[in-house]
Amino acid sequence: MEDVWIMDYGCSRHMTGHRKWFSSLNPVSTKEYITFGDNGQGKVLGVGSISLSAKLSLREVAFVWNLGFNLVSVSQLLDEGIEVGFKKGVCRVLDAEETLVCSLLPFGQVFRVDLTFVSGPTRCLVASPSADIWKWHRRLGHSSFDLLVRLSSMGLIQGLPKLKAEKELVCHPCRHGKMVATSHTPVSQVMTSYPGELLHMDTLGPARVASVSGKWYVLVIVDDFSRFSWVFFMEFKNEVFGFVRDLVLRLRNESHKAMRAIRSDNGKEFRNSRFENFYRDLGLEHQFSSSYTPPQNGVVERKNRTLVEMARMMLDEHRTPRRFWAEAVNTACYIANRIFLRAILGKTSYELRFGRQPSVKHLRAFGCRCFVLKKAGNLDKFESRCLDAIFLGYASSSRAFRVWILEANQVVETCEVFFMKLCPAQLLPLSFKVMMKKAPPSLRMRKVRLMLVMQEPLHRLQSLPPLLRALMMMDDSCLRLPLHSPDDKLKQRLAPLRTQER
């Protein structure tokens, strides 16, 4: 009887008393007993799975001590979507697709499962209907199974037979050769309830050119609710902790609502003992993105791209030297907080954080010409009252502009600034304008080219007139000729072009 499985209508679950049938068996943690028809009881020693054939697998089968029969529960089969049918002369078991699973044969007054032609789970690949598709899958360079089925059904290729693909076919070489990164679904709702609840942070750099103040890296921090952002510039990455600590403490003082978490990547500047101790003392959760998975930290990654692109365009417009990249990034962050709308909420980051609408009346074009009032004492009555400068952004802790004083070659913060509305091409020195007027018409069309040829390094600009110096200091990467005066320099550089015109 140990090799016979009986189909039982009155049995509540599959059960057997023979250990050899189980392909997997797990012991039960609690005491459980099965009551038989004669009111006898058998202890359940474990629960596992049994494969009677390739198409008939039994799950949740009870291993009952001292049970002499193998019982298949009809009710449990019905719960699994398998149909059991009894007709005169025909007794069979069908799956959900009405495919024959097995037949039932009379066995005394009951029915047993017919295992004559299906003795176990072993299958022959050559006899399987999917053998052909595997063969052609390998022959045709591991093309997808769906493509092979479509091609065979359309009859467009000679020699390719009709193929049928089974479900969940997995080719290991295809997995090794075609596996791609998991897609990340965009978040379509606001995941936080108030500003400062969750902060995203990341670092940029190192830059190829040091900033004016000798910085190489940028720390970008973004508030999840408002998307308000902060940027901090660093010489070394180990300075990250100081900036984060100061910002977190300041935000805790500004708002009565508690900060909940910080999110970053797995960089060593974020994952260290100083951060762990600091977050533990404040009761903050530090969330990390998976290794080498920037999309999981996508809020700040997208902000990084936005700030870098804005800074690149602002530097390019007036050919501002690249050492002012930090000033451009800081200005881009200042502007982005005031003009970009928070998705879904429909308000600017500035309004969501401070509760009032931002003003842009004071904004000016980065890199434009301006004049700064002299405030030094003992000025001569006939001395100039202003200095030529280049606009570089806005002060972070006062209502002032950041400008680059050309004569002193230094960056200062002041509110006494007058901005020029003319573009740099309209501010050429008189000697250059006269020479351009005398030049042939085709040579005048090369004004932009001549402006780029006139460049000089910074250490030679102190002796040049202010207007010419302002034009030249837009870029210090061109020719470096030891000339004695601006007029001699212009004549010598215009000579090759005049020769070409002749």
pLDDT > 80? residue 155: yes
pLDDT > 60? residue 121: no
pLDDT > 70? residue 471: no
Query: Which of 24-28, 371-375, 419-423, 460-464 is the most confident on average?
Result: 371-375
Q: What is the DSSP string of 436-451?
A: HHHS-HHHHTTHHHHH
For the stretch 6-15, pLDDT in tens is 888 778 888 8
Among residues 458, 457, 455, 483, which one has the least CA distance to residue 471? 455
Average pLDDT, the chain: 80
| Residue 493: per-residue pLDDT | 53
pLDDT > 90? residue 373: yes
pLDDT > 50? residue 401: yes
Among residues 188, 118, 101, 178, which one has the least CA distance to residue 147? 178
For the stretch 248-278, pLDDT in tens is 999 999 988 999 999 999 999 999 999 999 9
pLDDT > 70? residue 159: yes
Structure tokens at 297: 């930290």
| Residue 473: per-residue pLDDT | 45
Q: Tell me 65's DSSP state.
A: T
79/140: higher pLDDT: 140
Among residues 274, 431, 403, 439, which one has the least CA distance to residue 331? 403
| Residue 379: per-residue pLDDT | 81
Band of pLDDT at residue 501, cut at 50, 70 and 90: very low
Contacts with 3 (C-beta within 8 Å, 6 or more apart), sequence order: none
| Residue 66: per-residue pLDDT | 77
pLDDT > 80? residue 173: yes
pLDDT > 50? residue 449: no
Q: Is 206 exposed, middle or buried (0-12, 13-18, 19+ CB in 10 A)?
A: middle
Strand, helix or coil for residue 73: strand
pLDDT > 70? residue 102: yes
| Residue 443: per-residue pLDDT | 42
| Residue 273: per-residue pLDDT | 95
| Residue 209: per-residue pLDDT | 94
Q: Mean per-residue pLDDT for 144-172?
A: 85
pLDDT > 70? residue 468: no
Q: Mean per-residue pLDDT for 470-481?
A: 39
Band of pLDDT at residue 36, cut at 50, 70 and 90: confident
For the stretch 229-238, pLDDT in tens is 999 999 999 9
pLDDT > 50? residue 29: yes
Pairing of strands 285-288, 261-264: parallel
Q: List C-alpha distances in Å: 135 to 128, 155, 159, 175.
A: 12, 18, 13, 17
Strand, helix or coil for residue 403: strand
Distance between start and end Cα atoms, the chain = 114
Backbone angles phi, psi at 74, to 5 degrees: -65, -40
Query: Which of 54-63, 92-101, 343-352, 477-486 is the most confident on average?
Result: 343-352
Q: What is the pTM of this model?
A: 0.60
